[in-house]
Amino acid sequence: MMSEKKTSLFLVPTPIGNLGDITIRALEILKSADVILAEDTRTSGILLKHYAIQKPLQSFHNFNEHRMVEKLIRRMQEGEVMALISDAGTPGISDPGFLIARACLQAGLNIECLPGPTAFVPALLKSGLPADRFVFEGFLPLKKGRQTLLKQLAAEKRTMIFYESPYRLLKTLAQFGETFGVGRKASVSRELTKKFEETVNGTFAEIIAYYTNKEPKGEIVIVVEGDKSSTYPADEMKMSDELE
């Protein structure tokens, strides 16, 4: 049952590169909100200036969200309407958003999330790998738990999606080659929707060779083929049905 209470918090996706990718509704929400919570006010200021949006900006990022949430909840309870944006893409997807969304629900406040840009979707579709079943892993742990997680993912049959920094790309690709096999198919997309957008498809061996000779730049999405050594139980059932 839909509540008739007004929305207190809007999660607003912003362009991952091309400023023209923002939706009309997103612009309307940003213009009408009492305050805009931004991961980096300098980065968000460029977008808002481009669309002539003049609203109070407040910093809300990974390093202050824990201490900010309670105060923001109180302000929303007093009637303020807030819009949360990240530097790029959808808030909460490898960016701040989860904590304040959960706190709003616990406080009985309404939240809405607008549809919009998310980097892993175009990267997945441009990879040519199966998109009917996939798992999003975001950024892997830098140290603790990294190897354990990779070993767990070695048998993952769904297409896997990761985010990575250009500075760690080659190291990560080498680890993936060791874990999944250098012959496993993969795809690396960078600078999505921007002027120098690039997607490199191939095996890990081929992609590593490519980026060994070309320094990667920009935000990066890595898409990895799932383990094909055996089929899904659902696929086996389907094959059985087709044989009957």
**Quick check: 209 and 108 in contact, CB under 8 A?**
no
Instruction: Look over the chain and give the mean of its residue pLDDT values, rounded to a whole number.
Output: 92
Nearest to 62 by CA among 86, 27, 30, 89: 86
Please name the residues in contact with 175: beta carbons below 8 A apart, sequence gap of 6 or more.
150
For 168-188, write each residue's pLDDT tens digit: 999 999 999 999 999 999 999
For 124-157, write each residue's pLDDT tens digit: 999 999 999 999 999 999 988 999 999 999 999 9
Whole-prediction pTM: 0.88
Let me know the angle formed at the C-alpha of 49 by 47 and 54, rounded to the nearest 5 degrees: 110
What pLDDT is recorded for position 114?
97
Asked if pLDDT for residue 235 goes beyond 80, the answer is: no
What pLDDT is recorded for position 242?
52
The structural domains of the chain, ordered by start, are: 7-113 (3.40.1010.10), 120-224 (3.30.950.10)
